[in-house]
Chain A
Amino acid sequence: MKLGLVIDLDTCVGCHACAVACKQWNASGTSGPLTDYDPYGGEPSGVWFNRIRNYEVDTYPNNKTINTPMSCMHCEDAACVTVCPTGASYKREEDGIVLVDQDKCMGCNYCAWACPYGARELDRESGTMKKCTLCVDRIYDEELPEAERQPACVLTCPTHARFFGDFDDPDSAVSTMVRERGGYAMMPEVGYQPTNKYLPPRTKPVVETHAEKPPQSNAGGTEKPLSQIQRWIAQQLARQS
Chain B
Amino acid sequence: MHPAISVICFTLLSGAGYGLLSLLCMDSSVGIGLELSAPRRNSLVLVSLVLVTVGLLCSTFHLANPKNAWRAFFRFRTSWLSREGVFAVLLYPVVLMWLFVVWGDDPAATGVPGRLLALLTLLLSMATLFSTGMIYACLKTIRQWNTALTPANYLLLGLMLGALILLVVSSAGSIGKIAPGLIVIAGSAKAIYFYWIGQPAGPTINSALGFTRATVRLLDVGHGTGNFLTDEFGYQVAQAKLMWLRVICLLCAFVLPLLLLSIAGTDSLPVNIVALVVAFGGVFVERWLFFAEARHVVNLYHGAQST
Nearest Cβ distance between residue A184 and chain B, in whole angstroms?
Answer: 5
B residues near A87, Cβ cutoff 8 Å: 71, 74-75
Q: Are B228 and A112 interface neighbours, CB within 8 A?
A: yes
A232 at interface by CB-CB < 8 Å: no
* 12 further interface pairs, Cβ-Cβ under 8 Å (given A56-B219, A109-B62, A187-B208): A51-B222, A66-B209, A70-B301, A83-B139, A85-B79, A86-B72, A106-B63, A108-B72, A113-B142, A118-B233, A186-B208, A187-B203
Q: Are A116 and B141 interface neighbours, CB within 8 A?
A: yes
A83 to B225, CA, bound (A): 29
B229 at interface by CB-CB < 8 Å: yes
B149 at interface by CB-CB < 8 Å: no
Q: Are B80 and A83 interface neighbours, CB within 8 A?
A: yes
B residues near A61, Cβ cutoff 8 Å: none
A128 at interface by CB-CB < 8 Å: yes
A32 at interface by CB-CB < 8 Å: no
> Which residues of A158-205 have CB atoms within 8 Å of chain B's CB atoms?
184-191, 198, 200
Q: Are A55 and B297 interface neighbours, CB within 8 A?
A: no
A residues near B37, Cβ cutoff 8 Å: none
Most chain A C-beta atoms within 10 Å of own C-beta, residue among B63, B73, B141, B214: B141
Q: Are B219 and A124 interface neighbours, CB within 8 A?
A: no
Q: Are A47 and B228 interface neighbours, CB within 8 A?
A: yes
Q: Are B232 and A109 interface neighbours, CB within 8 A?
A: yes
A-B residue pairs in contact (CB < 8 Å), sample of 11: A16-B222, A43-B225, A54-B222, A65-B219, A83-B79, A85-B79, A86-B72, A106-B67, A112-B228, A126-B65, A188-B207
Most chain A C-beta atoms within 10 Å of own C-beta, residue among B72, B85, B142: B72
A53 at interface by CB-CB < 8 Å: yes
Nearest Cβ distance between residue A100 and chain B, in whole angstroms?
Answer: 11
B residues near A112, Cβ cutoff 8 Å: 228, 232
A residues near B216, Cβ cutoff 8 Å: 55-57
Q: Are A110 and B135 interface neighbours, CB within 8 A?
A: yes
B78 at interface by CB-CB < 8 Å: yes
A142 at interface by CB-CB < 8 Å: no
Interface residues of B toward A: which range?
35 or more
B residues near A51, Cβ cutoff 8 Å: 222-223, 229
Contact of B215 among A45, A57, A108, A113 (CB under 8 A): A57
Q: How many A-B residue pairs have CB under 8 A?
A: 174
Nearest Cβ distance between residue A65 and chain B, in whole angstroms?
Answer: 7
A108 to B209, CA, bound (A): 28
A110 to B1, CA, bound (A): 12
A residues near B304, Cβ cutoff 8 Å: none
Q: Are B64 and A127 interface neighbours, CB within 8 A?
A: yes
Nearest Cβ distance between residue B48 and chain A, in whole angstroms?
Answer: 24
B residues near A114, Cβ cutoff 8 Å: 139-141
B227 at interface by CB-CB < 8 Å: yes
Residues on A lying within 8 angstroms of B by beta carbon are 16, 43-48, 51-59, 62, 65-66, 68, 70, 79, 82-88, 103-110, 112-118, 121-122, 124, 126-128, 184-191, 198, 200
B99 at interface by CB-CB < 8 Å: no
Q: Are B220 and A53 interface neighbours, CB within 8 A?
A: yes
B53 at interface by CB-CB < 8 Å: no
A residues near B73, Cβ cutoff 8 Å: 85
Q: Are B227 and A55 interface neighbours, CB within 8 A?
A: no
The 3 A-B pairs at the shortest CB distance, nearest first, are namely: A107-B64, A127-B65, A127-B64
B residues near A79, Cβ cutoff 8 Å: 139-141
B residues near A187, Cβ cutoff 8 Å: 203, 207-208, 297
Q: Are A190 and B140 interface neighbours, CB within 8 A?
A: yes
Q: Are B210 and A184 interface neighbours, CB within 8 A?
A: yes
Q: Are A116 and B209 interface neighbours, CB within 8 A?
A: no
Most chain A C-beta atoms within 10 Å of own C-beta, residue among B64, B138, B217, B225: B64
Q: Are B65 and A106 interface neighbours, CB within 8 A?
A: yes
B211 at interface by CB-CB < 8 Å: yes
Most chain B C-beta atoms within 10 Å of own C-beta, residue among A53, A66, A103: A53
Nearest Cβ distance between residue B90 and chain A, in whole angstroms?
Answer: 15
A191 to B203, CA, bound (A): 11
B101 at interface by CB-CB < 8 Å: no
Given A59-B215, A118-B298, does the pair A107, B224 have CB atoms closer than 8 Å? no
Nearest Cβ distance between residue B271 and chain A, in whole angstroms?
Answer: 41
B198 at interface by CB-CB < 8 Å: no
Given A52-B222, A58-B215, A106-B72, does the pair A189, B207 have CB atoms closer than 8 Å? yes
> Which residues of B161-218 have CB atoms within 8 Å of chain A's CB atoms?
203, 207-211, 214-218
A79 to B74, CA, bound (A): 17
Q: Are B141 and A106 interface neighbours, CB within 8 A?
A: no
B residues near A117, Cβ cutoff 8 Å: 298, 301
Chain A: which residue is nearest B229 at the CB level? A118
A residues near B302, Cβ cutoff 8 Å: 53
A residues near B62, Cβ cutoff 8 Å: 108-109
A104 to B62, CA, bound (A): 16
B81 at interface by CB-CB < 8 Å: yes
A residues near B72, Cβ cutoff 8 Å: 85-86, 106, 108
B240 at interface by CB-CB < 8 Å: no
Q: Are A58 and B214 interface neighbours, CB within 8 A?
A: yes
